[in-house]
Amino acid sequence: MCSLSYKDISINEYVSGCLLCNDAPCRKACPKSLEADSIIRSLRFENKAGAVNKLLSPLPCITCDTKECMEACLKGKINESVPIDKIMKAISAEPKVKEVDVDLSIDFCGLHTENPFFLSSSVVGSNYEMVAKSFDLGWAGVAFKTIGMFVPKEVSPRFTALSKENLPFIGFKNIEQISDHTLKENIQFLKQLKKDYPSKIIVASIMGQNEEEWTKLAQLMTNAGADIIECNFSCPHMSGNGLGSDVGQSPKLVALYTKATRKGTHLPILAKMTPNIGNMEISAIAAMEAGATGIAAINTIKSIMNLNLASFKSEPNVEGKTSVGGYSGKAVKPIALRFIHDMKNCKELKDAPISGMGGIETWRDAAEFLALGCENLQVTTAVMQYGYRIIEDLIDGMKLYLSSQGYKNIAEVVGKALPSIIPADKLNRDSICYPRFDRKKCVGCGRCYLSCFDGGHQAIKIDEATNKPILKVDKCVGCQLCSVVCPAKAITPGKRINKK
């Protein structure tokens, strides 16, 4: 495990306070035209190498005394301006990374895509203007917002977010339904997009209410110029029987509607799976056996969020009422990865193409989905929070990561992590990995002691002279809880020894 330095911890804290402004005033204020906003955004999205590569040489911040950028920083209207000078100076000592030519193009469901990054079926891809803007910025494709034969009535408001401590946004809930445009309008959007962007991939997400509608929608989307049909079997809050996740929980309905869709198209078909189920493989197998080409996973998770303990109302608050909605965002990534792993380890599904989604914000998130076997990636919640511009660091960060590891093509990392995830009974249970304390980095806060005593095995005591931890080896079981909670990153996994 790589331990963060104090400098890295400080940088992360500094950049997390940035508002990530549109048309950022800090950049406009810099007399040397340093792209401070873009650099900070790259750091925020874990693309440190990309941030360093954007620095000017020599760095103007070293000799700048005016601090015009920080005076212009809008964060200062809330509390304190982002310390732009400290951020730039902190990363200026890092060597610039030479980007070797890396091919991000990849084949998916028989189609060649310029990169694996697609918008997922949602409000972020729901009309011509929006999708065209995303394509211009570098997104390779879109799963257009789910199209049906009807236009639903929407509620207001329909979004809310989950926060924790000083983090304003760790999860997201929506109670939005399928496209609020007419069928005719949606068909025209698809036709125009394909005409104007012939090299981009158009995935038409559809949802029917019976076999006839699934077949008809598939025919219409095929004629409109779609490249792939995605069957939405998984929306968790559609207001109608037989819709959304009610379908995905039933292998019989999945098979029935996949067959009906196949009757209407020769195009590749993705079955979009619900996570509101114990074993996704069962419905996924039913879809593949019924004619699907691949799987899309995961859709949002059924949720209730933000109960007000004064009024006992929940959010989104629609005249004092709400409903179960879909939970998404970074917090669902581990759940998405688990489902994808399970499908890739299922003999009936191991060769099925998977479009992965659920909590992808950074290139690192994306690489994790690829490493577990996905060949395509879809993003919504991060775009809703930060905008289409995140594609810049998704692409740049991915290229720099691949080139730094000696890869020439993004396809080389697909499935690389699968062999390292094994059944629990196959793990080595005959050895212990003890924690290693870095006493120079330790600040003496005692968090490791508290967690170990109250939530572990009472294997840490505090040295009264230094206020720093001492390991009681005879009690330590090597759980590494202490390394997880240490805010100074002064505890790392140490030597592994066989149990006596």
Q: Which residues have a catalytic role annotated? A: 235
Report d(CA 299, CA 357) in Å as an integer: 8
Contact by Cβ (8 Å): 302, 245: yes
Report d(CA 104, CA 256) in Å as an integer: 36
Report d(CA 127, CA 141) in Å as an integer: 14
Q: Which two tokens stand for residue 64?
A: 């700048």
Amino acid at 325: G
CA distances from 275 to 171, 278, 304 (A): 16, 8, 15
Report d(CA 237, CA 325) in Å as an integer: 6
CA distances from 136 to 59, 199, 323, 397 (A): 31, 12, 37, 19
- Quick one: which of 159, 166, 224 has its CA closest to 192? 224
Report d(CA 378, CA 124) in Å as an integer: 11
Residue 471 backbone phi and psi in degrees, to 5: -80, 130
Q: Which two tokens stand for residue 273?
A: 């799976």
- Quick one: which of 460, 462, 468 has its CA closest to 440? 468
DSSP 386-452: H-GGGHHHHHHHHHHHHHHTT-SBGGGGTTTTGGG---GGGS--SEEEEEEE-TTT-----HHHHHH
Amino acid at 318: V
Report d(CA 398, CA 423) in Å as an integer: 30
Count other C-beta atoms under 10 Å from residue 382's C-beta. Answer: 21
Report d(CA 252, CA 404) in Å as an integer: 47
Q: Could you tell me if residue 415 is left (phi over 0), alpha (psi between -120 and 50 degrees) or otherwise beta?
A: left
CA distances from 110 to 121, 170, 353, 375 (A): 20, 35, 10, 11
- Residues ≥6 apart with Cβ < 8 Å to 1: 483, 492, 493
